[in-house]
């Protein structure tokens, strides 16, 4: 079965795109459409496909992209929670019968 990786970009149509902690800003005298096209073309070259848009306000939206999973796309899985181990926060443990 195919595995997919996802990327979410926050796009502010006034000239800022933010994704995974990286900011992309509109260039001086760059048109909004050229700015968006430049960003989208970059993601397309990396294999990302736009699969959804979630409008937030009249000037912003979340864009959701996906591609076939590649090495390094996923963070390591967190270990499963266990009721027998102490919480990482150092708080009280809960014992079960």
Residue 56: pLDDT over 70 = yes
pLDDT at residue 78, rounded to an integer: 53
CB 49 within 8 A of CB 6: no
pLDDT at residue 53, rounded to an integer: 96
Report the pLDDT averaged over residues 7-35: 93
Between residues 86 and 5, the one the model is more confident about? 5
Query: CA 93, 78, 6, 37: dihedral to nearest 10 degrees?
Result: 90
Rounded distance between C-alpha atoms, residue 38 and residue 41, angstroms: 5
pLDDT band at 26 (very low <50, low <70, confident <90, very high): very high
pLDDT at residue 57, rounded to an integer: 87
Residue 79: pLDDT over 90 = no
Rounded distance between C-alpha atoms, residue 54 and residue 61, angstroms: 5
Query: CA 87, 91, 92, 95: dihedral to nearest 10 degrees?
Result: -10
Rounded distance between C-alpha atoms, residue 61 and residue 55, angstroms: 4
Rounded distance between C-alpha atoms, residue 8 and residue 24, angstroms: 14
pTM: 0.69
Extents of the domains making up the chain = 4-68
* Tens of pLDDT, residues 29-51: 999 989 999 999 999 999 999 99
**49, containing H or E segment:** strand 49-57
């Amino acid at each position: 079965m195919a595995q997919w990786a996802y990327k979410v970009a926050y796009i502010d149509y006034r000239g800022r795109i933010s994704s995974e902690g990286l900011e992309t800003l509109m260039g001086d005298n760059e048109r909004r459409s050229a700015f968006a096209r430049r960003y989208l073309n970059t993601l397309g070259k990396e294999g990302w496909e736009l699969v959804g848009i979630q409008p937030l306000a009249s000037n912003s939206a979340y864009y959701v992209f996906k591609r076939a999973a590649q090495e390094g796309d996923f963070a390591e899985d967190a270990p499963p929670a266990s009721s027998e181990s102490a919480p990482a926060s150092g708080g009280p443990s809960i014992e079960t019968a």
